[in-house]
Amino acid sequence: MIRKVFLVDTLVDGPFSGSQTTVVFLESPLDKFKMLSLANELGTSQTVFVYYHGQAYLLRYFVRTQEITLSTHCCHAVAHLIFELGMHPPGEKLLFLTQEGEITAARIPPDLISVTLPAQNITKLDQAKIELYSSILSLNPKTVIWGALAPSRTVVLAVDASVQLRKLNVDNLKLADSGAMALAVTKQDTGAADYALRCFTSIPNLPEQSISAGLQRSLAPHWGRLLNKKALQAKQLSPRGGLIELDVSIPNQIVITGRSKTVLRSDLVLEMIGDIPVTVVGQ
C-alpha cells in the first residue's frame, strides 16, 4: 500500500521556520504501535495520522516516543494540506476528532488557517517553585514577574525586560528531575508582537519546542487579561522561530491563526512494517 506523506512547516515566520510536522493520510486505520514506530522512523518532532471518518477527520498524534492526545500545530498542518490539496470546499469548516474532543478549523484567504479550541486555565506558582525553575534556567528570581503551572505539566515564568530570551539555556537534567514536562519563559514584546516566548522540554530528542501552539490555550487568555486585549500576536524565539495570531474574544475558547508551508510530498510504503516486529520506542 502506498500512502501520501507530507512535511509541513507550521505556523511559520518566514522560510524554514515554525514546527516541522509530518502528516500521513490513511485510507484505513493503522495499529497504534505501528504508527508509533513510523513516527520514530520519520523522525520529526511530531507526526499526525489522518483518517477520514464520516464527515470528519480522525487525528492521532505521536512524538517519537509516545502518543499524545492533542497537537495544535498538527491541526494547523492537516488543515493547511486538506485545503491546499482541494480535499474540502475552501469556504467550509473542517471537523477534527481527537482524544480531547472535537476541534474545528477554517481557511482564511489567501493562505491562513484558523483553529478553534477550548481555552485552558493556569495556576499561580509559589515563590519556592519560582526559585526552583529559575535555577534551571540560571535566572535571577528577581527578574521573574509571575510564575504559573499550565496543563500538561508545563511551567511558565514571565520575566521582565532585562532578560534576553534568545540567550537562555536550560539545565536538561534539572528540568527532567523537576517533574515538569516543559518550561516556558515569556515576556512582553517590544516589537510588532504582544509577547514573546521560548519553551524547553524534558522530552528526549526535543530539547526545545519550535512553536508552542498548544500552550497558547492558557498563555494567550492570561496575556489578554494583562494587556486588556482580545487580539494578540505571539512570537516564538526558538532557533527556527514562529508567529501566531490569537483571538481570545470568545469566552472559554481561543482561535489560533497562522500560516503553514508544504516542504515535501512523498510516498510511504506501508508494507515495510508489515513483516517486521513492531518495537515500541522507549520501552
Q: Quick one: DSSP state of residue 235?
A: E
Cell digits for 262? 508544504
Give the pLDDT of residue 271: 62
Give the pLDDT of residue 282: 35
Judged by DSSP in three states, 149 sits in strand
Task: Note whether 177 and 204 are within 8 A (CB).
Answer: no
Give the pLDDT of residue 281: 35
Question: What is the Cα–Cα distance from 79 to 107, expressed in whole angstroms?
Answer: 8
Beta strands in 151-194 (DSSP E): 154-159, 182-188
Give the pLDDT of residue 274: 52
Name residues whose C-beta falls within 8 Å of residue 192's C-beta, 6 or more positions apart in sequence: 233, 235
Judged by DSSP in three states, 178 sits in helix
Question: What is the Cα–Cα distance from 203 to 154, expressed in whole angstroms?
Answer: 12
CATH code 3.10.310.10 for 2-113+260-273: yes
Task: Note whether 46 and 19 are within 8 A (CB).
Answer: yes
The neighbouring-strand residues paired with 115 are 105, 256
CATH topology of domain 123-251: Diaminopimelate Epimerase; Chain A, domain 1 (3.10.310)
pLDDT digits (tens, 9 = 90+) for 72-124: 999 999 999 999 999 999 999 999 999 999 999 999 999 999 999 999 999 99
Give the pLDDT of residue 280: 35
Judged by DSSP in three states, 182 sits in strand
Domain ranges of the chain: 2-113+260-273, 123-251
Decide if 2-113+260-273 and 123-251 have a common fold.
yes
DSSP H helical segments within 105-209, as ranges? 127-136, 172-178
Cell digits for 144? 521573574
From the list 2, 1, 17, the residue with the least C-alpha distance to 263 is 17
Give the pLDDT of residue 28: 85
Give the pLDDT of residue 98: 96
Give the pLDDT of residue 205: 74
Question: What is the Cα–Cα distance from 121 to 119, expressed in whole angstroms?
Answer: 7
Q: Quick one: DSSP state of residue 166?
A: G
Give the pLDDT of residue 270: 63
From the list 65, 10, 1, 8, the residue with the least C-alpha distance to 29 is 1
pLDDT digits (tens, 9 = 90+) for 18-40: 999 999 999 888 889 989 999 98
User: What end-to-end distance do the CA atoms of the chain give, in Å?
Assistant: 28
Which residue numbers in the chain have pLDDT < 50? 275-283
